[in-house]
Amino acid sequence: MECTNNKHPFVFLFSLVFLTPLVCSQLYYNFYDSTCPNLTRIVRYNVLSAMNNDTRIAASLLRLHFHDCFVNGCDGSVLLDTTSTFTGEKNALPNKNSVRGFEVIDTIKSALEKACPATVSCADILTLAAREAVFLSKGPFWVVPLGRRDGTTASESEANNLPSPFDPLENITAKFVAKGLELKDVAVLLGAHTFGFAQCFTFKARLFNFGGSGKSDPTLDGSLLQNLQNLCPNQASSDTNLAPLDPVTTNTFDNIYYRNLDFAVSMEKMGRISVLTGQQGQVRTNCRFVN
């Protein structure tokens, strides 16, 4: 049974409350209702606490979820540490010194292990944390089907193939389509960049040497160009400087286009990419290590 919210709101609400649980590839909306009834409250409390201490963390949690799902599916593999006998994904070029939020997931996992030991997967925690990060940033809310299991493998090579800001649009699109997403999902999910920051090295060529011309991108607004050049001077030491993706409301998910149902539907679709369910994988007791 395909799991989707794109039906009439009353029909969806009626089926959610009164009919059999909605299922999505063995993912259920009420998967933890009896085994961990305070799951959502615990996740929301800890995400909100993290946001109060770090205004960037909401966007970071959303990005962490994206980087997880696009490498062998939404299995929590991005959370695994590299050890002497195991190679994780954290040192892949798109992740190293870039993806953040691991400590937040650790905190949530620790709280859940006290409330309901060995029950909630790290993959589900990350999926819920991303939803809460968007919602608490004044973005849309969507119901998350649960029951993902954690992977026991990771792939640094696949992580190195994540969609990149340096990729041509056709390459980015192809990577989304390969995951079962559609062109509409590409546009909608890219709208997540309505909040957060970007490191200067990802776009600095457009400011100073567009297409090898030695000049800035002529399509950039003059005042925006000046502001970005001030934030990202033409020197190597500025590569890791941060520039807001939305300079007006940096930490708010506020573009009305992305507050509609499209974003919620695309996020739910992304959260179902190649999930492990049933007896597949495991439920890690520590998100950084395989049991």
Domain boundaries, the chain: 9-162+263-270, 197-244
Establish whether 65 is an annotated binding residue: no
Establish whether 73 is an annotated binding residue: yes
Nearest to 157, CA basis, from 205, 93, 73, 243:
93
Residues 29-77 have pLDDT tens digits of 999 999 999 999 999 999 999 999 998 899 899 989 999 999 999 999 9
Establish whether 124 is an annotated binding residue: no
State yes or no: pLDDT of 162 exceeds 80.
yes
Q: How far is CA 281 from CA 75, 81, 216, in A?
A: 8, 17, 49
The number of C-alpha atoms within 13 Å of 153 and in the hemisphere containing its C-beta is 8
Q: Which CATH class is domain 9-162+263-270?
A: mainly alpha
Q: Specify the higher pLDDT residue, 220 or 108.
A: 108
Residues 178-202 have pLDDT tens digits of 888 887 777 776 655 555 567 777 7
State yes or no: pLDDT of 218 exceeds 70.
yes
Contact 257, 193 (CB under 8 A): no
Mean pLDDT over 161-175 rounds to 79
Establish whether 71 is an annotated binding residue: yes
Quick check: pTM over 0.85? no
Establish whether 193 is an annotated binding residue: yes
Establish whether 157 is an annotated binding residue: no
Residues labelled catalytic: 67
Establish whether 246 is an annotated binding residue: yes
